[in-house]
């Protein structure tokens, strides 16, 4: 993987025409459709300083939460395709394609995928005072009193929301959804006891689990995460079929010159190979990726199809 990424960096930099070599000549906005403190925001703020360092211009993270990330998505989709307005997002972009009946953008048509920066599983976490110690306890409690328990999410259509809906479907439980405007408010509500449980990504919950404010019951990864080695996967906890890997990717408006897309992809791949940044990412529970634009494009197409099936089966809707 490291050899492939280094080759990508070298090839992209050697191939850059003069136009891309002069990019950027002014600050670049990196738009995030979530509030500060969540996984996407954390990842964007880890990547942006490296891009600033490599390109010699500020890459400024701008939070534009709301409407299930659609405010940020539309803003970037309709921005000039010149590389000065980028979107840092996650699978919510793909999920919204089937969750909303009408959108002012198309995830596959209106964006130029640049690179997947990192990925991480979601984690089922509960309020520290909830009298459960594992997934079986939680399922038993939910079945005993249908509708008594509730869960928070960063908003309708996020992987947190649909991870929970899949959990309910697979465990035959009824747990009430309480959407918040972002991961940080969602977890604040969980810690305060406003809600009982939540699914959230590791970068957002890691410190809260370590401090004891939250209890982690299971991850949605295919294998245990090194940052939470004592936390079982959903399959190990008895819930088969709930595997969700959350990716964090960088995109530009469709029509952005390919040379600029390639330059940004090469810089993102280079950032994932930086020893200091890799250490920080892994400590946050985020696995460095640094994919090519082509790999990201394929992933985005696959994700749109995959989440359409999940939305249909779960009955989730934002309309």
Hey, what domains does the chain have and what are their CATH numbers?
Answer: 2-119+246-314 (3.40.190.150), 121-219 (3.40.190.10)
Burial 299-310 (b: 16+ CB within 10 A, else e): bbeebbebbeeb
Alpha carbon distances (Å) from 44 to 17, 34, 67: 27, 11, 20
pLDDT greater than 90 at residue 22: no
Alpha carbon distances (Å) from 146 to 9, 100, 168: 53, 28, 11
pLDDT of residue 304: 95
pLDDT greater than 90 at residue 268: yes
Q: 293 near 112, Cβ under 8 Å?
A: yes
Give the three-state DSSP class for 15.
helix
Residue-wise pLDDT tens digits, 79-118:
999 999 999 999 999 999 999 989 999 999 999 999 999 9
Question: Among candidates 74, 91, 71, 83, which has minimal Cα distance to 112?
Answer: 83
Question: Residues 6 or more apart from 148 whose CB is under 8 A from it?
Answer: 141, 142
Average pLDDT over all residues of the chain:
91
Mean per-residue pLDDT for 2-20? 52
pLDDT of residue 180: 92
SS3 annotation, 226-251:
CCCCCCCECCCCCCCCCCCEEEEEEE
- Where residue 8 falls among pLDDT bands split at 50, 70, 90? low
Max mean pLDDT range (50-54, 179-183, 204-208): 50-54
pLDDT of residue 151: 98
Higher confidence at residue 163 or residue 10? 163
Q: Hey, what's the torsion of the CAs at 85, 91, 94, 98, to 10 degrees?
A: -130
pLDDT greater than 80 at residue 199: yes
pLDDT greater than 90 at residue 215: yes
- Where residue 315 falls among pLDDT bands split at 50, 70, 90? confident
pLDDT greater than 90 at residue 39: no
Element (H, E) at 297: helix 293-314
pLDDT of residue 274: 96
Give the three-state DSSP class for 125.
strand
pTM of the complete model: 0.83
Percent of the chain at pLDDT > 90 equals: 77
Centre a 10 Å sphere on the Cβ of residue 266 and count the other Cβ atoms it contains.
25
Percent of the chain at pLDDT > 70 equals: 93
**From CA 93, how far away is CA 241, in angstroms rounded?**
22
Q: How many helices (H) and strands (E) does the chain have?
A: 12, 10
Kindly report the backbone phi and psi dihedral angles of residue 61, in degrees, each rounded to the nearest multiple of 5, phi listed first: -75, 130
Length of the chain: 319
Question: Among candidates 50, 101, 96, 98, which has minimal Cα distance to 77?
Answer: 96
């Amino acid at each position: 993987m490291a050899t492939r990424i280094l080759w990508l960096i070298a090839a992209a930099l050697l191939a850059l025409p003069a136009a891309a070599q002069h990019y950027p000549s002014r600050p670049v906005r990196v738009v995030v459709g979530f509030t500060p403190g969540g996984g996407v925001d954390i990842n964007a703020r880890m990547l942006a300083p490296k891009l600033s360092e490599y390109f010699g211009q500020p890459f400024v993270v701008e939070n534009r939460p709301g409407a299930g990330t659609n405010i940020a998505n539309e803003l970037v989709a309709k921005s000039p395709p010149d590389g000065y307005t980028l979107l840092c997002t996650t699978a919510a972009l793909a999920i919204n394609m089937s969750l909303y009946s009408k959108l002012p953008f198309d995830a596959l048509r209106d964006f130029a995928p640049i690179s997947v920066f990192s990925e991480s599983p979601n984690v089922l976490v509960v309020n520290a005072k909830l009298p459960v110690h594992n997934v079986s306890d939680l399922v038993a409690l939910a079945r005993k009193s249908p509708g008594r328990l509730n869960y928070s999410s960063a908003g309708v259509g996020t992987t947190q929301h649909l991870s929970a809906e899949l959990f309910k479907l697979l465990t035959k439980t009824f747990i009430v959804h309480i959407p918040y405007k972002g991961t940080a408010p969602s977890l604040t509500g969980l810690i305060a006891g406003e809600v009982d449980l939540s699914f959230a990504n590791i970068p957002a919950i890691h410190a809260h689990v370590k401090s004891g404010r939250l209890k982690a019951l299971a991850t949605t990864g295919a294998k245990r995460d090194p940052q939470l080695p004592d936390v079982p996967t959903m399959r190990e906890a008895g819930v088969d079929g709930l595997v969700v890997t959350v990716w964090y990717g960088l995109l530009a408006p469709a029509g952005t010159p390919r040379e600029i897309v390639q330059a940004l992809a090469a810089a993102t791949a280079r950032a994932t190979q930086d020893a200091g940044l890799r250490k920080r990412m892994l400590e946050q529970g985020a696995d460095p990726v640094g994919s090519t634009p082509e790999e990201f494009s394929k992933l985005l197409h696959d994700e749109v199809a995959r989440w359409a099936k999940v939305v249909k089966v779960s009955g989730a809707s934002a309309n």
